[in-house]
Amino acid sequence: MVKIEDYQNVCGKLQPMFTATDTSPIAYYNYTLYEALTNKIIAGPANTTSNNPEIKNLKLTAGKQYYFKVKAADQAGNQGTEITSDGFIVKNTTDAACAEDKEPPQV
């Protein structure tokens, strides 16, 4: 694994981006989602073939911080080193950080 992009604020949809490099194609990513304060497992461990999965049916609490641990496996069966994301904070969907920008840019 090279990188996990879990974004800083999550507004209702959790869709991290996993980046891995290898000489063989990546077969799958194994991820686990944790609540940061308690290190309690919230989801997983689970495998996905997508490097940008939408993780659904979670009961995350607004204001709490969460993080991922992820490792990749290649088609030859080798598993890479597990890495930990820098974490993200769940925002209430009414939070200003979650507002949808509907205005066109001005020049």
53: three-class secondary structure by DSSP: coil
* CA nearest to 60, candidates 101, 14, 21: 14
pLDDT per 10-residue tile (average), the chain, 107 residues? 70 84 91 96 95 89 93 92 92 70 68
C-alpha 78/C-alpha 88 separation (Å) is 29
Q: How many helices (H) and strands (E) would you count in the chain?
A: 0, 8
DSSP string covering 58-105: --PPTT-EEEEEEEEEETTS-B---EE---EEE--TTSGGG----SPP
The pTM of the full predicted model, rounded to 2 decimals, is 0.82
